C-alpha cells in the first residue's frame, strides 16, 4: 500500500494530466456525454466553439472547432477583420499559456498519448533526420498560406475570379488545413469510411486521394506507438504556428544550474521528453525546443535532482 502511494506521488503530474485530458476530451466532444447521460450540454457550445487546439469544425461529436481552422477559413473567405481578431486572440493565448493546451487539453494530443502508453520500445529518430522532419509542418502551413491568402484577396477584388478560383481549389478552399488534420481524419474521414463499409457502392467510389489519406494517417497512427507525438512533431499545422510564437511566451520551463548535473551524469529529462527536445543543449534561463515543448512536464516530474522549474516572465 505504501509502495502504491509512493508511485502515485512520483507520477502525480502525469496522473493529473491524464485526468484533465480525459475531462477535456469529453467536454470538447460533449455529444458523447449527451448520448449516454440524460443531460443537455448545449451551454458548452460557447466554450468549445473556438479553442486553441486542433479540432475539426466538421467533427460530429463536437459543436466547435480549433481556432486555427477558423483563422484559415476566414482568410480563404476574405473575412480579414475576423482573421486578424482570431490571430490576435491566438497570439495572446500562446504568449500567456505557452503550449499548455497542446499538452493538457487537445483531444488529438490525448489520443497520441494513449497510443504512446502502449508498452512498446520507444524509438527516436537520428538528430539530423529529426531536425529535417520538423520542417514538414512549416512547409505545409506556408504552402497553405500561399494558396489561400490570394483566394481571400480576390473575393474583395474580383468576385467572379474568386468563384472560379474557389471552384478550382475544390475542398481545399472549404477546409484549408483539413487535409493535414489528424482530427479531420479520426472524427470525420473514418466515420464516413465506416458508413461506406455498409454501403459498398459508395466505398468503391473512394477516390485516389482518399486512399492516400487513409494509408498515410493509418501509418502515422501505427508509428505513434513507437514514436510519441509523431504527428504533433512533424505534421500538425497548429504546432507549426504555435511553435513560432511560444518561443517568446512568458510561461517557460528553466533549469537550475546548481541542481542540473548534465547529460553525462543524468540526461533523464531528454530521455523522457516525448518531443525529442535536446533540453540540455539549451539555456538554463529557459528552454522551449524552439517552441516544440508542449508543457507536458514529463521532464520536471522525472528529474531526480528537481532541477526543472516553471517560470513566468522573469520570475
Mean pLDDT, contiguous 10-residue spans, the chain (315 residues): 54 93 93 88 79 90 88 92 94 94 95 94 93 96 94 88 89 90 94 74 64 93 96 96 92 94 92 94 91 94 94 78
Do the beta carbons of residue 242 and residue 291 sit within 8 Å? Answer: yes
Residue 61's DSSP bridge partners are none
Cα(211)–Cα(220) distance, integer angstroms: 14
Burial class (CB in 10 A: 0-12, 13-18, 19+), 1: exposed
- Under DSSP, is residue 235 helix (H, G, I), strand (E, B) or coil? coil
Q: What is the pLDDT of residue 196?
A: 74
In this prediction the pTM is 0.89
- In 3D, which of 117, 123, 119, 143 has the Cα closest to residue 237? 143
Domains of the chain: 2-124+174-233 (no CATH), 250-315 (3.30.70.20)
Q: Taking the CB of residue 79, how many other CB atoms lie within 10 A of it?
A: 17
Secondary element (H or E) of residue 18:
helix 12-28
Amino acid at each position: 500500500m505504501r509502495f502504491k502511494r509512493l508511485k502515485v506521488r512520483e507520477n502525480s503530474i502525469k496522473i493529473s494530466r491524464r485526468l484533465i485530458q480525459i475531462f477535456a476530451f469529453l467536454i470538447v466532444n460533449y455529444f458523447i456525454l449527451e448520448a449516454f447521460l440524460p443531460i443537455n450540454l448545449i451551454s458548452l457550445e460557447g466554450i468549445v466553439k473556438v479553442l486553441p487546439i486542433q479540432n475539426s469544425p466538421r467533427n460530429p461529436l463536437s459543436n466547435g472547432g480549433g481556432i486555427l481552422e477558423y483563422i484559415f477559413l476566414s482568410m480563404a473567405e476574405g473575412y480579414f477583420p475576423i482573421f486578424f481578431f482570431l490571430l490576435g486572440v491566438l497570439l495572446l493565448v500562446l504568449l500567456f499559456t505557452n503550449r499548455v493546451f497542446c499538452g493538457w487539453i487537445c483531444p488529438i494530443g490525448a489520443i497520441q498519448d494513449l497510443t504512446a502508453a502502449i508498452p512498446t520500445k520507444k524509438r527516436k529518430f537520428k538528430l539530423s533526420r529529426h531536425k529535417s522532419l520538423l520542417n514538414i509542418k512549416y512547409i505545409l502551413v506556408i504552402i497553405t498560406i500561399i494558396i489561400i491568402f490570394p483566394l481571400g484577396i480576390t473575393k474583395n477584388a474580383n468576385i467572379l475570379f474568386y468563384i472560379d478560383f474557389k471552384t478550382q481549389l475544390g475542398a481545399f478552399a472549404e477546409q484549408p488545413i483539413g487535409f493535414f488534420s489528424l482530427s479531420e481524419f479520426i472524427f470525420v474521414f473514418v466515420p464516413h469510411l465506416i458508413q461506406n463499409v455498409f454501403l459498398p457502392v459508395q466505398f468503391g467510389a473512394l477516390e485516389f486521394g482518399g486512399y492516400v489519406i487513409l494509408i498515410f494517417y493509418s501509418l502515422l497512427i501505427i508509428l505513434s506507438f513507437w514514436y510519441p507525438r509523431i504527428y504533433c512533431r512533424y505534421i500538425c499545422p497548429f504546432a507549426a504556428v504555435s511553435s513560432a510564437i511560444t518561443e517568446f511566451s512568458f510561461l517557460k520551463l528553466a533549469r537550475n544550474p546548481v541542481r542540473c548535473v548534465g547529460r553525462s551524469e543524468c540526461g533523464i529529462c531528454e530521455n523522457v521528453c516525448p518531443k525529442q527536445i535536446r533540453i540540455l543543449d539549451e539555456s538554463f534561463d529557459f528552454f522551449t525546443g524552439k517552441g516544440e515543448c508542449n508543457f507536458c512536464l514529463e521532464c520536471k516530474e522525472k528529474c531526480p535532482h528537481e532541477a526543472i522549474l516553471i517560470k513566468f516572465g522573469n520570475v
